[in-house]
Chains A and B, each alone.
Chain A
C-alpha cells in the first residue's frame, strides 16, 4: 500500500499539472479568439476571389497562363501545414497521417513526390522519415502575417515555374468550429476550376465576357494574387484550428487531472482513516492488556 506521504506528493504533483493545463487552456482560448476573427474575416475575400477565378478559368484558354495550364509531368509536391508547438491533441497526428497516406498513394501511382513543410512539428516528422523535404518554414505561426503567405507563395510559384514539380497539393486543418477541425487535401497548382457555384444561375459558357484591361494582363495580376490569398487563408485556417485543438485538448487534460485528484484524495483519506483506526485499536488493545 502506498504510504501517506507518497499519496500527498502525488496529489500535489497532479494539482500542479492541472494548473499548467488550465493556464494553457486559457491562453489557447484567448489566442483562438483572435485567430478565429482573423480567419472569419479573411474568408469572404478568399472565397469571392476563388469564385471569380473559377468563373474565369472556365472561359479562358488554359494554355494562356502557366499557372492555369495542366502539365503532363509526374513530379508532385505536397505542402504540409502543421503547428510549431505540440500539446494540441491529435491536430498534428491527423495531418501527418493523412499526408503520408496521400504521398504513398501518389507514389504508388508512379508519381515522384516531394514535400514542403510549414511548422516545426511536420519538419521533425519528415526529417525522421525518408520523404524528400524541398523547403521548410519553421516558426511561421508565432506571428502570422500576410508576408509569410507571400514568402511561401512566391517560393512555391517560382519552383513551379521552373518545373521542379508539376502538381502542388496542400494538406491542412480547416477550422470548422472551436470543437472541430477537418483535415483537407486540396490541389493548389495548376489552378483548377471548382464546381459551378450554386449561387446565381450558371453563367452562359463562352458568352461574351468583357475584360479590362485585356485578358492576358488581367490574368497576370489576378492569378498570383489568387494564389497568395489562398495560401494566406490556408495558414489562417491552420492557425485557428491549432488553437481550437489545443484548447479542447487542454480542457480535457484539466478535467482528467481533476478526476485523478478526486480519486487519489479519496484513496488518501481512506488510507488515513484506516491508519487511525488501527492506531486506536492498538491503544484500546494495549489498555485492555494492562488491566
Chain B
C-alpha cells in the first residue's frame, strides 16, 4: 500500500483519485480540471489550498501532451500546492466505461422521464440520466482520441 511519491517533480503535482472501493489513480500530472459543486475549476501546480464538494461531471487531467478523462460522481476534492486529492463516491476511467451499457441507461432513464411517475422516481431517473449521459460523453471523447479499445 505504499503509494504517493513524497517528492514531486518540478512543474507537476500529484493527483490521487480514490473511491470507497479502491484507489483509481495516483499519478503526477501537469493539469487537472474537476467539476466543483459551484462550477468547474482548473488546477495548475502551486495552487492555493482549496476544499470543495463535487457534483456529477467530468474530470480531466493532462500528463505531458496526453489528456485523459474520467467521470466523477459526487464527493470532495482537496487541493494543496503539491497535491490534488479527489474523494469521489463513484469514479470511472474513460477506458473502463461500457458504452453500450451507458447508452442503454440513457434510453431507460429517458423513457422513465417521459412516463413520469412519483416525484422520487422522476428524480431518480433524472439523476441516472445525467450519470449515463456523462458516461457516454466521456466514453465518446475517449474514442475520438483514438484510444478506443481494440477488443
Is the beta-carbon distance between A212 and B78 smaller than 8 angstroms? Answer: no
Interface centre among B20, B48, B53, B82 (most CB of A within 10 A): B20
**Contact digits for B48-91, partner A, Cβ 8 Å, 1 yes 0 no:** 11111100000000000000000000001010101101010000
Is the beta-carbon distance between A44 and B22 smaller than 8 angstroms? Answer: yes
Is the beta-carbon distance between B51 and A211 smaller than 8 angstroms? Answer: yes
Segment touching A, from B1-9, B105-113, B116-124, B130-138: B1-9
Contact of A10 with B by CB under 8 A: no
Is the beta-carbon distance between A52 and B78 smaller than 8 angstroms? Answer: yes
Segment touching B, from A95-103, A182-190, A197-205: A197-205
Contact of A43 with B by CB under 8 A: yes
Contact of A286 with B by CB under 8 A: no
Is the beta-carbon distance between B48 and A48 smaller than 8 angstroms? Answer: no
Contacts of B83 in A (CB 8 A): 199-200
Kindly state the separation between the CA atoms of A71 and B60 in the bound complex, as whole angstroms: 43
Closest to A212 in B: B52
Contact of B45 with A by CB under 8 A: no
Chain A contact surface mostly: helix
Please tell me the number of chain A residues within 8 Å of chain B, measured between CB atoms.
30
Kindly state the separation between the CA atoms of A51 and B53 in the bound complex, as whole angstroms: 16
Contact of B21 with A by CB under 8 A: yes
Contact of B97 with A by CB under 8 A: no
Known: A48-B87, A200-B83. A222 touches B76 (CB 8 A): yes
Is the beta-carbon distance between A41 and B23 smaller than 8 angstroms? Answer: yes
**Contact digits for A208-220, partner B, Cβ 8 Å, 1 yes 0 no:** 1111110000100
Contacts of A125 in B (CB 8 A): none
Is the beta-carbon distance between A203 and B53 smaller than 8 angstroms? Answer: no
Kindly state the separation between the CA atoms of A209 and B47 in the bound complex, as whole angstroms: 11
Kindly state the separation between the CA atoms of A174 and B16 in the bound complex, as whole angstroms: 25
Contacts of A146 in B (CB 8 A): 20
Known: A48-B85, A210-B51, A213-B53. A203 touches B36 (CB 8 A): no
Closest to B5 in A: A199
Kindly state the separation between the CA atoms of A43 and B21 in the bound complex, as whole angstroms: 9
Is the beta-carbon distance between B53 and A44 smaller than 8 angstroms? Answer: no
User: Which of B16, B23, B49 touches A210 (beta carbons < 8 Å)?
Assistant: B49
Top 4 A-B residue pairs of the complex, sorted by shortest distance between their CB atoms: A212-B52, A41-B22, A44-B23, A210-B50
Q: Which residues of B contact A (CB under 8 A)?
A: 1, 3-4, 6, 16, 18-23, 36-38, 48-53, 76, 78, 80, 82-83, 85, 87
5 new A-B contacts at CB < 8 Å, known A41-B22, A212-B37: A45-B20, A45-B23, A208-B48, A213-B38, A213-B52
Q: What are 23 of the A-B contact pairs (CB < 8 Å)?
A: A41-B21, A42-B21, A44-B16, A48-B85, A49-B87, A52-B51, A52-B85, A55-B78, A146-B20, A199-B4, A199-B83, A200-B80, A200-B83, A203-B49, A203-B80, A209-B50, A210-B51, A210-B52, A212-B37, A212-B38, A212-B51, A213-B53, A218-B51
